[in-house]
Amino acid sequence: MDMSAARERLVVIGGDATGMSAASQARRLKGPDELEIVAFERGHFTSFSACGIPYWVGGDVDDRDDLIARTPEEHRARDIDLRLRTEVTEIDVAGGRVRARDVDSGAESWTSYDKLVIATGAGPIRPDMPGSDADGVHGVQTLDDGQALIDSLTRTRGRHAVVVGAGYIGVEMAEALIKRGYEVTVVNRGSEPMSTLDPDMGRLVREAMEGMGITMVDDAEVTKVHTGGDGRVRAVATQDAEYPADVVVLGIGVRPQTELARAAGLPLGSHGGLLTDLAMRVRGHENIWAGGDCVEVLDLVSGQERHIALGTHANKHGQVIGTNVGGGYATFPGVVGTAVSKVCDLEIARTGLREKDARRAGLQFEAVTIESTSRAGYYPNPSPMTVKMLAERRTGRLLGVQIVGREGAGKRVDIAAVALTAGMTVEQMTALDLGYAPPFSPVWDPVLVAARKATAAVRKGSS
Amino acid sequence: MDMSAARERLVVIGGDATGMSAASQARRLKGPDELEIVAFERGHFTSFSACGIPYWVGGDVDDRDDLIARTPEEHRARDIDLRLRTEVTEIDVAGGRVRARDVDSGAESWTSYDKLVIATGAGPIRPDMPGSDADGVHGVQTLDDGQALIDSLTRTRGRHAVVVGAGYIGVEMAEALIKRGYEVTVVNRGSEPMSTLDPDMGRLVREAMEGMGITMVDDAEVTKVHTGGDGRVRAVATQDAEYPADVVVLGIGVRPQTELARAAGLPLGSHGGLLTDLAMRVRGHENIWAGGDCVEVLDLVSGQERHIALGTHANKHGQVIGTNVGGGYATFPGVVGTAVSKVCDLEIARTGLREKDARRAGLQFEAVTIESTSRAGYYPNPSPMTVKMLAERRTGRLLGVQIVGREGAGKRVDIAAVALTAGMTVEQMTALDLGYAPPFSPVWDPVLVAARKATAAVRKGSS
């Protein structure tokens, strides 16, 4: 029997979390005799934690290499033919092949595949304005970005930093720059930071950030980056004012990098991400998978697709794809939209739908907000916490939870994440058997207090 | 219309969490014109947090009154006829009345009821041995107990403390006594402390406690308390050895205080607790409710009754009972057996079934254990954590989780508590959308890592 005839080739585009998790998992299930694996990565690194970049910049993480979960050498030692600094420039779906270009030499060649994984990630949204690519203006999506920012901070030793955008990346970078001794201004398009929260909860974040000495500029759009004679950033202008800036960090979000997929005629959703089935196969394509920051995911609460760039989903996608490519069976059922972050000692968390998400999905709801503490009130350092909860009108189904507080607040959102996944009502939640002891929780956990209030609101508004 | 004719009387036996929560909630729903409420409490206090006593003894809580959620005066201001230092000595079910005795004067009288709530709590198990009621031997169930212990510690200024029992109360009291400068010996009947965990997880607790300088004596039964000429404890003897003791704390658990209920012919379960229906009515009795530490609760995982003395259940029971007594509708569906505790900075948590619980319930299972960290490995202070997970053979249904670790470990058990309530399989859990950011979790939360390993074990053992 000729084994080579049965040998298939898997091509992976993108060497970060999804791509290399998929490759590794496929390799675990199928040896090199059965499956050849070729992975193309245009950068210098593999399997790194982009989520860790703010902590590297802020000095909590000493070494860039700490952010690398698995090096190119480790992947190669597992019989994965990893080609760094090699960018895929075209997918020929009909021909079952990809064209790749050596970034340094410019040489191009075609590689055929039996199975293809697209894990091209997301890229930062760059504001369309004069000076947005000036020296000292930095994205923070890749390790190269992070290194460039750190080099820039070290070289210029400036005083003023402007962060554009007040989402997760924005607030985390604000903290990182504060830690490096900068005076930080955050320029935010919305009325409150953290637009992933409702504005009433975002206001708590703004108040806390201002308390940390961060200047918050709301309802402002950056219109221009002013540069000096050396081509380096000097200030940032909005429609109303100008802010001195020795360095500018772009944290206005990311979009799926799906130009290749679009050119190949693969299906994209309304957020620009690839559309897949539950096994993470690109819709309509038996032998092409996609995952991570370049795909849209099903929101299990609203029933609609969303784009969420988050390492934890990317890793799960890689695991599911690798299992299926390797001949096993796994699915990714969707997300409930959980996210957690912190800025200094303020913890910020959400899961499920905000008020505007619920309205957009056609859902009517009751919203309640409660104040509680992370521990029993009489125990030392009971840190305050605000919990907002949305429940569907009449059915009482949990729709979403937002939490802003200090130590012990953030991960409490997991309770709601599991309850959302299970489709629980807020009244069912009031009976949840959560861990209680004075150092860990009041006798009614803050999530239960919110569930009780939401239950009362649903009952009262039950007509 | 004569309102007094329609006025009903609710009698509550026991003025702690369940009894007074029930009274308060009933009062919220029905005013004094409709419902008269009489509550009997044999002690001096109402609505106190027994769970807080170790922290009061240890000095984390300054003042006894901090542990009182609501004072007698506050209850009386809400038209609850609260009678302190008044012990109910008999329930006459057929006659619809209770006999109560003034503890100080000894005077007795009968009070009739239309509705009765039994919330008599639990009492400490006292080892049956010579000297167990000597001076310096203390339980820690009530505020009076706590005050007596603190007075004893203050008066004697001893060096040696022996804690009998190594469950939640035992380990919390060991920490409290360490904080007061005592040399602490914990005498434990089992092979490892925390028998609410499997022994392999209990061993981690023992190692940590020994690391804190606590002397752990396993497989030992206290046989005698030696006293000096003043009648005060001097030492504790086991079958093998003797340990000097200036103070002894009994932490060998509690049993339901149901002598009244038993004498009245009310139904008790195999653990000695009252049996109720889902609305917390005593089985077979339309107008008698019971809750808190004196009842047995349904374990939703094993389908069997258990006795669990825990403030969080007691408060929920009170809320449910008060709602039903007040003419509303609420149920307590049962528990999954969640508990969390700490000894110094070691966090200990469990939910669902241990191995022996599962066997006893006739369940076959796979058990896996993993090591992970509370945060991303590269983030400062990623504290280690061990997670053990049990999944049902073939179905893969989650049966239980145990966690031992440092900061951030304990409350992670809530994820499993909700998943158990929802009847999730460990494979479903691998897709849970839990909060991820480097300061809060590795990219795969420790609970997800355990779920993945358990999933693999179920698949492998699927025959």
Predicted TM-score (pTM) of this structure: 0.95
* B378/A443 touch (CB, cutoff 8 Å), yes or no: no
- Interface A-B: count of C-beta contacts within 8 A: 208
Tell me the chain A residues in contact with residue B310 when contact means C-beta distances shorter than 8 Å: 436
Residue B262: per-residue pLDDT:
98
Query: How far B56 CA sits from the closest chain A CA (Å)?
Result: 9
Fold of the CATH domain A126-252: FAD/NAD(P)-binding domain (3.50.50)
pLDDT for residue A368 is more than 80: yes
Q: Which positions of A are annotated as active-site residues? A: 51
CA gap B81, B39 in Å, rounded: 6
Tell me the chain B residues in contact with residue A66 when contact means C-beta distances shorter than 8 Å: 377-378
Fold of the CATH domain A3-123+255-325: FAD/NAD(P)-binding domain (3.50.50)
Residue B228: per-residue pLDDT:
92
pLDDT tens column, B152-168: 999 988 899 999 999 99
- Token pair for A167: 């989402």
Give the confidence band of B127 by pLDDT, cuts at 50, 70, 90. confident
CA gap A29, A362 in Å, rounded: 43
Average of per-residue pLDDT values in chain B: 95
Spatial neighbors of A197 by CB under 8 A, at least 6 apart, are A205, A348, A350, A354, A402, A404
For the segment A219-240, the average pLDDT, to the nearest whole number, is 94
CB A447 within 8 A of CB A369: no
Which uninterrupted H or E stretch holds B248?
Answer: strand B247-250
pLDDT tens column, A382-407: 899 999 999 999 999 999 999 999 99
- Token pair for B43: 């002690």
> Of A197, A381, A414, A430, which to mutate for an interface test with B (greatest number of B Cβ within 10 Å)?
A414
For the segment A15-27, the average pLDDT, to the nearest whole number, is 97
Q: Which residues of B307-339 are buried (b: 16+ CB within 10 A; e: fewer)?
A: bbbbbbbbbbbbbbbbbbbbeeebebebbbbbb
Instruction: Identify which of A311, A342, A440 has the shortest CB distance to residue B340.
Output: A440
- How much of chain B, in percent, has pLDDT values that exceed 90? 89
For the segment A93-103, the average pLDDT, to the nearest whole number, is 98
Residue A128: per-residue pLDDT:
82
Give the confidence band of B1 by pLDDT, cuts at 50, 70, 90. very low
* A424/B424 touch (CB, cutoff 8 Å), yes or no: no
Which residue from B120, B142, B119, B124 is spatially nearest to B48, judged by alpha carbons?
Answer: B142
Average of per-residue pLDDT values in chain A: 95
CB A408 within 8 A of CB A423: no
pLDDT for residue B320 is more than 60: yes
Residue A1: per-residue pLDDT:
46
Which residue from A298, A426, A440 is spatially nearest to B409, judged by alpha carbons?
Answer: A440
Query: How far A255 CA sits from the closest chain B CA (Å)?
Result: 20
Instruction: Identify which of A342, A424, A433 has the shortest CB distance to residue B417.
Output: A433
CB B265 within 8 A of CB B259: no
- Token pair for A339: 């996210």
pLDDT for residue A297 is more than 90: yes
Residue scoring higher pLDDT (A461 or B159): B159
pLDDT tens column, A410-441: 999 999 999 999 999 999 999 999 999 999 99
Backbone conformation region of residue A186, classed left if phi is above 0, alpha if psi is from -120 to 50, else beta: beta
Tell me how crowded residue B278 is: count the other CB atoms within 10 A of its CB: 12
Tell me the chain A residues in contact with residue B340 when contact means C-beta distances shorter than 8 Å: 435-437, 440-441
For the segment B390-406, the average pLDDT, to the nearest whole number, is 97
Each domain of chain B, given as residue ranges in start order, spans 3-123+255-325, 126-252, 339-462
Residue B463: per-residue pLDDT:
58
pLDDT for residue A2 is more than 60: no
Residue A150: per-residue pLDDT:
96
Give the confidence band of B462 by pLDDT, cuts at 50, 70, 90. low
Query: How far A114 CA sits from the closest chain B CA (Å)?
Result: 27
Residue A4: per-residue pLDDT:
54
Residue A158: per-residue pLDDT:
87
Task: Lowest mean pLDDT of A398-412, B58-72, B108-122, name the range.
Answer: B58-72
CB A120 within 8 A of CB A14: yes
CA gap A372, A404 in Å, rounded: 11
Sheet of strand A384-392, all strands in order from the earlier edge strand to the far edge: A339-343, A346-352, A398-405, A384-392, A365-373
Domain A339-462 class in CATH: alpha beta
Q: CA of A312: how far to CAs of A105, A297, B385, B444, in Å?
A: 35, 13, 19, 7
Q: At what angle do helices A311-325 and A17-29 cross, to 10 degrees?
A: 30
CA gap B27, B70 in Å, rounded: 15
3-class state of residue B463 by DSSP:
coil
Question: For residue B367, what is the DSSP state?
Answer: E
Q: CA of B378: how far to CAs of A61, A313, B440, in Å?
A: 6, 19, 12
pLDDT tens column, A263-283: 999 999 999 999 999 999 999
CB A297 within 8 A of CB A306: yes
pLDDT tens column, A47-78: 888 889 999 999 999 999 999 989 999 999 99
> Do A126-252 and A339-462 agree at the fold level?
yes
- Token pair for A383: 């840190």
pLDDT tens column, B65-91: 999 989 999 999 999 999 999 999 999
Query: How far B109 CA sits from the closest chain A CA (Å)?
Result: 35
Tell me the chain B residues in contact with residue A439 when contact means C-beta distances shorter than 8 Å: 55, 342
Backbone conformation region of residue A445, classed left if phi is above 0, alpha if psi is from -120 to 50, else beta: beta
* B433/A341 touch (CB, cutoff 8 Å), yes or no: no
Residue B444: per-residue pLDDT:
96
- Token pair for A432: 């949840």
Residue scoring higher pLDDT (A141 or B292): B292
Q: CA of A163: how far to CAs of A139, A214, A246, A364, in Å?
A: 10, 10, 11, 36
Identified catalytic residue from B35, B37, B51, B67: B51
CB B22 within 8 A of CB B117: yes
CA gap A67, B209 in Å, rounded: 34
For the segment A307-324, the average pLDDT, to the nearest whole number, is 97
Residue A5: per-residue pLDDT:
59
